[in-house]
A and B are shown apart, each in its own frame.
Chain A
Amino acid sequence: MVTGFGRRRSWAKKGGYAVSELIVSSAIFCSISLGLLMGFTSLQRNYAATSDFSVNHADEMRISDYMAMDLRRAIAVQAAKNDTTIYIPAYYDQTGSPQTPALDGQGGVFYGASGSSVKIHYYLMAGTIYRQQDNGAALPLAVSVQDFVFDVTDAGKVVTTRITFNPTFNSGGASLAATTATAFYNTTLLRNSRTDIQSSVY
């Protein structure tokens, strides 16, 4: 009898966890799991936002470079938000061969037919920014950029471009300050004499 009682006590010591222990351990497990889940979700979203930022920043620089290249040789500019038209001399003919400049008799030169120019159109349509030369096929410069805004400020001899996008770090949407912080500027001096501004003298 004594032996049996002792045996039962020994079994009781080797028994499973009590309900209170289970509750406490479950609570700890749940809180740690929740923390891990939130941490991983945060990391994943951060990675996506960072990748998005890098790609958009590279897009900004590429668009800015294209526009600066055309603005440097521009003879006329029609600036509007997400829709800018630049006219450049016809340096090349239809076959892509360089044209010989001819004197216009007023201290300037022209390429091809007198008064001719090449129209270059930058525009944002359906989330893509295009560069179209005359009536040729539009070249997509950046895709999935529906949140981009490119603005051209025409100051006569100097034209400033400003490109922004909405970063996705904040799930509630980008604040104005966050969007402003993505601004990429480029100030370009128009090397050629402008034909759309009479006072443009170089």
Chain B
Amino acid sequence: MRRRLRTDQAAFALVECTIATAVSALFLGSLFLMNSSAMGTIQLARESACASQVLQQRVESMRIANWHQVTDTNWLKTNLLNIEAPGASQLTNMSETLTLVPYGSTTVGNTQLTRTNGAVAIVSSNSALLGENAVKIIWTVNYTAAPNNRTISRQIVAILAKGGVAKW
């Protein structure tokens, strides 16, 4: 009877302690993982906003140009794409692609320029764009971002016409 009483009052067994520790560790691990995930999401949102503001500024900078300039591949290369948009330095491995497509006509042929690591290259050029009444501008920004350094792509499309700009 005395021995049974002492057994009832015994402390926790090693197995119980191990399970409790494992549960605590799992809880804490989940908490830190959740925190890390939330940080990643915020980083993603920040970079996404940054890419959007880069695109917004690029399209805005095209509004200032006249029709001759907008349709001139060399002018675009030396006046628009020669410098990076403010805030672009916050994006990792950013590259930009600008494509001008004839809009509302049967003209074939695009003008395309790329900017990678600060170097601008003319992929294709169509001088016939000068004779068009409108062009479709497709500006794409690619960058690597969290999580897992994936390549993210954001794009803006605008219709630019002689005498005015209409966002699409």
Contacts and interface: CB of A to CB of B under 8 A. Distances in A.
A187 interface: yes
B68 to A, nearest CB: 16
B131 interface: no
A189 interface: yes
Contacts of A57: 45-46, 49
A139 interface: no
Contact of B32 (A14, A39, A158, A184): A39
Contacts of A186: 53, 56-57
B63 A189 contact: yes
Interface string B2-23: 0000100000000000000000
A50 B60 contact: no
Interface size of B as a range: 20 to 34
Interface of B: 6, 28, 31-32, 35, 38-39, 42, 45-46, 49, 53, 56-57, 60-61, 63-64, 85-87, 90
Interface of A: 14, 36, 39, 43, 46-47, 50, 53-54, 57, 61, 157-158, 160, 162, 181, 183-189
B57 A61 contact: no
A176 B61 CA distance: 28
B49 A187 contact: no
A36 B85 CA distance: 45
